[in-house]
Structure 1
């Protein structure tokens, strides 16, 4: 009888141990399942983040490609503009004096006619009148183009901005010291810009 009771106790103990092992195994399985789910979720999140990063990189690459294309187009347009502008400027330089020369041709014609008349007759008064007319016509053409003669009459103050002193001479009148006493070559402005300095003699 005692032996049977011991067998029952051992059986119950074994059953309890089995149940505990089953319970432990079930808990382990649940934990493993939960861990697997967490791992899968993390992997999914990481995958989504990588896809987002790739998407951002692709977007940036597309923006860079568009910016590069715009830069190349702009550079090409600017290069074409620069070449066209250089060509136009070269042509402008070549033809800049065309209208001036055209206006001076009639004056040249007058000089040729005067030269022919001088050979045919030696009337000094008539020749003088003819050359005066030509000179006035020539001056009018230059004035219309913006040419103005400088005021460099003897007695005015020397101005280094418009005068070029070629020499100094002693003067009796001390008021002329440091002033213009003679003009060797007239100076000119073209639209208020000095194109030739007046060559003058200064008193000392």
Structure 2
């Protein structure tokens, strides 16, 4: 504060500007609870967007998985149905080959022995016809006979030895002596082994 003289010799005191008034007022502190930091809000938005994107991809993959599973189930059912149908047709075709044989057997069994026109030769011819038809039907079905002859080497893979016959000749050792029953093979599978007697040298 400074003094100055006026015309009436009065002294006025003149205040100098306060140093306190010259100091800037501090800015009010931001209210921490009024708003969240902008960076955190952006991060949450990015996370929400990424989560939604991943959920969409998961839903698409899950839908594709369900459709593929349904298609595979339908394919398996169709394959099983087609296999069953094919097996049924093969069996029907196999059995159809023997229907003519059955018809011939029924004709032979229907012959009247008291009929003078029916002779023993007629019956034999009928049975022979049935045998030829039956054999042909087996061949058409890929069934072939295993019919060894006496003197053939014994084959344990296709023959069953039901009897041993002592032989004095070394050359006859392990050879077929007699055939009691033919064997049969269906393609590469042995259906029944031929039953034979086998010579053994002692």
Superposed displacement of residue 139, structure 1: 1.0
Which of 51, 55, 59 is residue 57 of structure 1 equivalent to? 51
Name the CA shift for 1:140/1:45 in 2 (closer, same or farther; >3 Å).
Answer: same
Residues 88-141 of structure 1: per-residue CA shift (max 9 Å, x gap): 444444554222222222222222222334623553334323322221122112
Please say if 1:123 is aligned against 2:114.
no
- Give TM-score, length-normalised by structure 1: 0.70
State how 1:53-202 maps to structure 2 within 5 Å.
Answer: 53-117=47-111, 119=113, 120-121=115-116, 123-202=119-198
Name the CA shift for 1:58/1:181 in 2 (closer, same or farther; >3 Å).
Answer: farther
- Cα pair 1:155 1:179 within 8 Å, conserved: yes
Residues 126-175 of structure 1: per-residue CA shift (max 9 Å, x gap): 43233222211221121112111124223333333322333433223322
- Following superposition, which runs of at least 4 residues in structure 1 exceed 6 angstroms of deviation? none
Q: Distance in 1 between matches of 2:155 and 2:40?
A: 85
Higher share of residues assigned helix:
1
- Give TM-score, length-normalised by structure 2: 0.70
SS at match of 1:170: strand
Q: Distance in 2 between matches of 1:106 and 1:134?
A: 9
Superposed displacement of residue 67, structure 1: 1.6
- Cα pair 1:180 1:203 within 8 Å, conserved: yes
Higher share of residues assigned strand:
2
Instruction: Name the count of aligned residue pairs.
Output: 185
- Cα pair 2:147 2:194 within 8 Å, conserved: no
Q: Distance in 1 between matches of 2:147 and 2:170?
A: 22
Name the CA shift for 1:60/1:108 in 2 (closer, same or farther; >3 Å).
Answer: same
Structure 2: 5+ residue stretches without partners: 4-15
Superposed displacement of residue 178, structure 1: 2.4
- Cα pair 2:160 2:194 within 8 Å, conserved: yes
Name the CA shift for 1:61/1:116 in 2 (closer, same or farther; >3 Å).
Answer: same
Structure 1: 5+ residue stretches without partners: 5-10
